[in-house]
């Protein structure tokens, strides 16, 4: 089990934080939002690559996959 506070998962760190502040749900919620902001930002930045990877992995015919990506790009713009 990890003991170093810098290497704990977000969920464990959030649990420890909520224990130290008791039932202060507004503070716990604020920290939870701040904890997930970097994850959401990374998803937004790499969303196109996720979509391309999922499309290529699910469609066996690469020509169909490319046409779906082109269609998706046209719909986004």
Domain ranges of the chain: 8-44, 47-76
> How much is the pTM?
0.54
68 within 8 A of 62, measured Cβ to Cβ:
no
CB neighbours of residue 28 within 10 Å? 18
CA distance 10 to 38: 12
* Residue-level pLDDT, tens digit, the chain, 77 residues: 667 777 888 888 888 888 887 778 888 889 899 999 999 999 999 988 888 877 776 666 566 667 777 888 888 87
65 within 8 A of 55, measured Cβ to Cβ:
yes
Token pair belonging to 4: 């170093």
Closest CA to 32 of 40, 45, 42, 7: 40
């Amino acid at each position: 089990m990890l003991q170093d506070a810098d290497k704990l998962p977000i969920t464990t760190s959030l649990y420890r934080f909520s224990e130290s502040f008791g039932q202060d749900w507004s503070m716990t919620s604020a920290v939870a939002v701040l904890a997930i902001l970097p994850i959401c930002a990374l998803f937004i930045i790499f969303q196109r690559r996720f979509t391309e990877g999922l499309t290529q992995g699910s469609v066996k015919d690469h020509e169909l996959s490319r046409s779906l990506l082109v269609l998706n790009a046209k719909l986004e713009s």
